Amino acid sequence: MMHADSLISRAKDGDQNAQGKVVQLWYKRIYNFSYKFFLDHDLAMEVSQKTFISMCKNLTSLQDNARFKSWLYKIAVNYCREEARKKKTSRSLSFDVVWNRDAEDSPQWESTSQRFDNPERQLQHQELSEVLQEALLELNDEQREVVIMKEYEGLKFREIAEVLNISENTVKSRMYYGLDGLRKILEKKNINKETIGYGI
Amino acid sequence: MGYKASEQDLIAYLYGELEGIEKESMEQYLREHAEAREELEKLRQVRTTLSHVQDKEVIAPPIFLGDTGQRFFGSIPYFKTIVSIAASLLIVLMAAKLSGLQVRFADRQMVISFSGGDQIKAIEDKTPVPSITSAEVNELIHSALDENNQALKTSWTETQIKLDASITNNLAANSARIDNLVRESSAASQEQIRQFVAGMQAENMQLVKNYFQLSSNEQKEYVESLLVDFAKYLQQQRNDDLQVVQTQLKSLQQNTDVLKQETEQILTSIISTVGNSTSIGVKN
């Protein structure tokens, strides 16, 4: 995903139209990052909205437009951590846990780009996707945020280090142990090349 | 030689973030070390598996921001708290002013008053300072104690006399009453006891009579029923014995019959075999 420098410059100048376009451009990425972090739609929406409200308010403090991506993810990571803290302290049961939203919503393939794909195959894809995200949730927060940013958001190790305010080597270390941990979790869940090949 | 790939290098190579000499060294290292190749392959497989996670589609909601120009004081952190503390202090000061509150600390005493501090002060000023010597004080105390002792003594003697009189009166009255009561009760009780004992004896006699009557009747009935039962039992036993003897006799008779038949059969068979053998012998 690319962003135009001029768009960010205009947004920084207070052009609400440009700000809206930036939100449109980045919303899906931030939502998916938060969703993978929590595996919870409501929390992901909460974090995304807070991130973009904060972005619009504080865009003027961004000095280097080239660092917009890491700056934006920094805000998102901070909100994710805040929500995770809240979630740990409050033991309330989310309504989504009680109400199976997926069972009532229309199937996923209707809204995805692969809507013309074979529905059965699409469902298998979806199930695998969910299992993998559950595996991701078993990692600790530090490893999970690095794995998501690297694997799904395509940030460079340098950018992740900037987002998390840690050294590049620490990021690589977390990534290594994150992937290694995932390998073990997937082995435990009996997900490997063969089972995926059979299923899909 | 000497290059050893770290976990960080391996990860950087996996994601294509090694360049130049570092990349070449890593490739060389991988060519030489099978276990590193294996490790890399494992990590690559995890990546391939992870690539199956789909992104969720989401529509960005409109984000409205209020007029940022209006947030001067309200946005300062703790502004509300500071303002509210200041307001409450102001209210307290106003209330103190209106009620004429005065707080003073003088001559090792703290005076808090509501517009009446001067009067208290005036009253305090007017109190005269007594000037009596210690001897006079002692004398006063002694005289007061003597008077008190005298009064106590007189009251004690009076009360003692009264108490003695009332005790003697009470004793006399009570002893007379008790004597009367005892006499009455003893007279009455002898008569009553006689009557009671006589009644008891009569009742007891009646009870014993009834009891014996009843028990003798019951015993008679019981013995009769026992005799009848025993007779019935004997009859039954005799019948049973007779039946047993009869059946045994029958069986004995049957046995003898069977035995008779068997001996007859044996005899006939012996006779026939003997007859046959003699006839064969004759023939021969």
- Select the more confidently predicted residue: B78 or B123: B78
Q: Is B52 helix (H, G, I), strand (E, B) or coil?
A: coil
Whether the CB-CB separation of A96 and A46 falls below 8 Å is answered with no
The tally of domains found in chain A comes to: 2
Query: Do A97 and A163 reside in the same domain of the chain?
Result: no
- Above pLDDT 90, what percent of chain B? 52
Side chain identity at residue B101, one-letter code: L
Print the domain residue range for A81: 1-102
Measured in angstroms, the CA of B95 and the nearest CA of chain A are apart by: 43
> Concatenated DSSP letters for A146-194?
HHIIIIIS---HHHHHHHHTS-HHHHHHHHHHHHHHHHHHHHHTT--HH
Query: Do A17 and A68 reside in the same domain of the chain?
Result: yes
CB contacts of A134 in chain B (<8 Å) are: none
> Concatenated DSSP letters for B65-98?
---GGG-SSTTSTTHHHHHHHHHHHHHHHHHHHH
- b/e map A53-77, b = 16+ CB within 10 Å: bebbeebeebeebeebbbbbbbbbb
At residue A112 the predicted structure's pLDDT band, cuts being 50, 70 and 90, is: very low
Q: How far apart are CA A48 and CA B60, in angstroms?
A: 9
Query: Do A6 and A32 reside in the same domain of the chain?
Result: yes
Count of residues for chain B?
Answer: 284
Query: Do A83 and A147 reside in the same domain of the chain?
Result: no
Domain boundary among A81, A102, A123: A102
Beta bridge partners of B248: none
**B61: CB partners within 8 A, 6+ apart:** A49
Domain boundary among A80, A102, A124: A102
Query: Do A2 and A97 reside in the same domain of the chain?
Result: yes
Whether the CB-CB separation of A77 and A161 falls below 8 Å is answered with no
Q: How far apart are CA A144 and CA A80, in angstroms?
A: 12
At residue B55 the predicted structure's pLDDT band, cuts being 50, 70 and 90, is: confident
CB contacts of B50 in chain A (<8 Å) are: 132, 136, 147, 151, 182
User: Smallest Cα–Cα separation from A147: which of A195, A186, A103, A181?
Assistant: A181
User: What's the CATH number where A155 sits?
Assistant: 1.10.10.10
Q: Is the pLDDT reported for residue A105 higher than 60?
A: no
Q: How far apart are CA A50 and CA A29, in angstroms?
A: 14
Interface test with A, best of B6, B55, B75 (most A CBs within 10 A): B55
pLDDT attached to residue A199:
46
Residue spans of alpha helices (H) in chain A: 5-12, 16-38, 41-58, 68-89, 95-98, 101-104, 119-137, 141-147, 157-164, 168-188, 193-199
Tokens of B209: 């009579």
Interface test with A, best of B22, B48, B50, B70 (most A CBs within 10 A): B50
Query: Do A136 and A190 reside in the same domain of the chain?
Result: yes
- pLDDT tens digit sequence for A10-31: 888 888 888 888 898 899 999 9
Asked if B56 lies within 8 A of A35 by C-beta distance, the reply is: yes
Q: Is the pLDDT reported for residue B242 higher than 90?
A: yes
Query: Do A14 and A69 reside in the same domain of the chain?
Result: yes
Chain A: residue nearest B16 by CA? A156
Whether the CB-CB separation of B5 and B35 falls below 8 Å is answered with no
pLDDT attached to residue B283:
54
pLDDT attached to residue A152:
92
Is the CB of B60 inside 8 Å of chain A's CB atoms? yes
User: Smallest Cα–Cα separation from A9: which of A70, A64, A55, A52?
Assistant: A64
Q: How many CB pairs under 8 A join A and B?
A: 97
Count of residues for chain A?
Answer: 200
Query: Do A74 and A117 reside in the same domain of the chain?
Result: no
Beta bridge partners of B110: B105
Q: How far apart are CA A75 and CA A20, in angstroms?
A: 17
At residue B148 the predicted structure's pLDDT band, cuts being 50, 70 and 90, is: very high
At residue A96 the predicted structure's pLDDT band, cuts being 50, 70 and 90, is: low
Q: How far is CA B213 from CA B52, B69, B113, B220, in A?
A: 110, 123, 106, 11
pLDDT attached to residue A2:
47
Domain borders along chain B are: 7-48
Residue B109 has what DSSP assignment?
Answer: E
Query: Do A78 and A122 reside in the same domain of the chain?
Result: no
Q: What is the gyration radius of the CA atoms in chain A, in angstroms?
A: 18
CB contacts of A19 in chain B (<8 Å) are: 63
pLDDT attached to residue B103:
78
Query: Do A116 and A56 reside in the same domain of the chain?
Result: no
Q: Is the pLDDT reported for residue A184 higher than 60?
A: yes
- pLDDT tens digit sequence for B93-128: 898 888 888 777 777 777 777 765 555 554 555 555
Is the CB of B67 inside 8 Å of chain A's CB atoms? no
Domain boundary among A76, A102, A128: A102
**Distance of alpha carbon B94 from the chain centroid:** 59
Asked if A192 lies within 8 A of B49 by C-beta distance, the reply is: yes
Q: Is the pLDDT reported for residue B213 higher than 60?
A: yes
Q: Closest CB to A53: pick one of B11, B48, B63.
A: B63
Q: Is A85 exposed, middle or buried (0-12, 13-18, 19+ CB in 10 A)?
A: exposed
Query: Do A175 and A133 reside in the same domain of the chain?
Result: yes
CB atoms within 10 A of CB A22: 24
Q: Is B21 exposed, middle or buried (0-12, 13-18, 19+ CB in 10 A)?
A: exposed
Measured in angstroms, the CA of B83 and the nearest CA of chain A are apart by: 25
Asked if A129 lies within 8 A of B53 by C-beta distance, the reply is: yes
Query: Do A98 and A115 reside in the same domain of the chain?
Result: no
At residue A125 the predicted structure's pLDDT band, cuts being 50, 70 and 90, is: confident
CB contacts of A129 in chain B (<8 Å) are: 52-54
Interface test with B, best of A169, A172, A190, A196 (most B CBs within 10 A): A172
